[in-house]
Structure 1
Amino acid sequence: MLNTEYPALWNKFIHAVRAEVKPALGCTEPVSLALAGAIASAHLEGEIERIEAWVSPNLMKNGMGVTVPGTGMVGLPIAVALGALAGDPHAGLEVLKQARQEDIGRAKQLLAEGKVCLRLQEPCTELLYARAKVWSKAYWASVTIEGGHTRVVRIEKQGETLLSQRPGGVEPTAEDPLEVMSQTSLADILNFIEHVPFEAIAFILEAAALNGALSFEGLQGKWGLHIGATLEKQRGRGLIGHSLASEIVIRTAAASDARMGGASLPAMSNSGSGNQGIAATLPVMVVAEHLLASEESLARALMLSHLSAIYIHAQLPRLSALCAATTASMGAAAGMSWLMGGTYETLAKAINSMIGDVSGMICDGASNSCAMKVSTSASSAWKAVLMALDDTAVTGNEGIVAHDVEDSLANLCALACQAMQQTDRQVLDIMSRKSR
């Protein structure tokens, strides 16, 4: 709800964060297809007997190697089967939260009987595209999601169109919450978080609760590559030091381990990605705990981190060859800089140094190794903050970094939107040959 006492820009920032920072159970690309299956199934009566699904190459890339929560299986077929059989069509990115073991067993049986078919949508101009066609006896329903993980653009039943939205963008009657991002700056975001009333942004503390629980879970079990748990064990052996730097990396990696390893706990996502939400949250949390910061300070730092991450990612394709854990961690660098008493110049220096450090990290699909990239990005963020606090940073004389941080970000995003499109095609080609 808008507050007429706040400046219009503040209300738009809050709207953008509420739209882009949401709970998500499981990696959001398989979950998007599961949601299509659940909505299609909701238009049918009787037992689900067969499923066909089509996805874009980029969604295929991000769904091939990630574990679907509670199933012990990887990939898109189990996701769409479970979504169609037991998904909550009204739960968005938490579509699978009510699935029971018997539902998982039924989904696995459908796969074993060869009744779930997954194909690439060709041709496909949308980076994020998922369509599920579900049969019950002689009846079928089909749901298409494109342009956003929960954006349903078409629903059909027995050839009758029940819903059809224009392709691309949002409906004319709806306000795009990300539109504000093209009209603002990091300086505006910093001014917002320093002056907005605490009660207006206290909701962001749920990110700390959800992603903190994921981190704790990741340290308890052997989820994914169990990077966080391994580093914690090696720290106990004296192979790495007990320090704030190691705590940031361990706690952040552990959350991503649990997330990608299939833990049945939701993550607070950012820009449609649980790992981006983790990257924007955990480093800030750890620094706040170290400083014994108040709940209000934590909320302001988290809002700075998440809003900065949204601001940067809004300039990128929704899915691309650039690993977005890096850009989400740039948001974390801003949040940590502010907690440490830094100014705008401090966070600008930190982000510039990160662009000079990790801008070449590629996304080769959602998988357990995402936790490696998340931990690397968290380490880079803290290193850049420490440099900035000492008034040093990668300068505008080096590489793609410019003297002004906004120009640096524009350069990074230009690479992702243009040159790295060929990288994305090459990655997809490599992955598709592996899957044959």
Structure 2
Amino acid sequence: MTNPMTPGIVAGRLSSAEVADNFADLHAPLDGHEALVAADRCYFCHDAPCITACPTDIDIPLFIRQIASGTPEAAAKTILSQNILGGMCARVCPTETLCEQACVREAAEGKPVIIGELQRYATDTLMEANVHPFERAPETGKRIAVVGAGPAGLACAHRLATKGHDVAVFDTRPKAGGLNEYGIATYKSVDNFAAKEVDWLLQIGGIQTHAGKALGADLSLAELTSDYDAVFLAIGLGGVNALRCDGEDKDGVLDAVDFIADLRQARDFTSVEIGRDVVVIGGGMTAVDAAVQAKLLGALNVSLVYRRGKDGMNASAFEQDLAASKGVRIITNASPKAVIGNGAVREIEFEYTDDALTPTGETFRLAADQVFKAIGQTLVGDELPDLEQGKIRVDSAGKTSMANVWAGGDCASGGEDLTVTAVAEGRDAAEDIHAALSA
């Protein structure tokens, strides 16, 4: 049913067949022959720059050599020993700005080894065999609470479980996975892969998940530190920044993260409502994901507007090109000034800015019946450890200002807001927690 306040926002703009085709796998998986051919391009560098560029320090030449030798399961173990969520990271990591950008063949030829696709080939091969290559150490009797079942929390929980500790993972959502389950573009993770990866990860044993448990409302940090030997906070960023312009409370102005989550959880994508004229405000991966998905759902006009220049966008050049290839118009150096409409958005006014973000006085308007905010998220929570620039302050091992409390992922200071970085922080915090509990 169409909302009378926002008649342009409707479901079913495209047929089921069109939507299914639009949301097919962004990168078709490699078959065995393709993987061997791709692996053969690797120089197997001794001092490999790709390893240094990987936030989880995967031995990339080793796993590619293992693929080349016909042992993808061994390659997967090499990957997963450093990055237990290597399957999802192979799908969503900005490899074009990390390992592949550092590849020697990229520097020499402008065509790197397709490291991300080879990583997916290896990890998928292992998961499809339903093999879990890790075992728990003897039980230690220690109990750790992990708050947040996203990449950082899951990586921490798995590493602690391998050490023989018992781990309780709490999350506000009904499903574990965090941004992997709720915040990644659907075309990047098809066939319910995020949930399958969580189920596979939990095969290690020793991890109990508890859904519908929010820090503050259902869980007290004081109680957790009393009941458990250690606590790891991986609560992410639950708030969304405001546009700070007139009219942003009008109908049709929505959070991009909610739009992405709703689409990820929809049984039928044609049931998801989308506008005719969609404007996405922001310059990161979330903005691109929202804009591209709006177009794939059948929005006629989709504009992505960012206050800085293209070089200042957090979304990689690959992501920007992907958006443009799907018909998204990218407008830079413009900030929202006012949302215009009688109760519901009809237009949004922008003002051009210079490189220093100073308004130029020149304005323009875009027709819009739906506006998605993707301008960053904020930490939400009370009685947290000390903060630094709006995030939980941690040292290099993830320790916070509170005794026996560690933190990692998007909620913690330092590092980039990437899945692969969150995994590294969760893994490293687990090692520090284990060391502290073993002292």
TM-score by length of 2: 0.28
Q: Tell me which protein shows more strand as a share of its residues.
A: 2
Structure with larger Rg: 2
Q: Tell me which protein shows more helix as a share of its residues.
A: 1
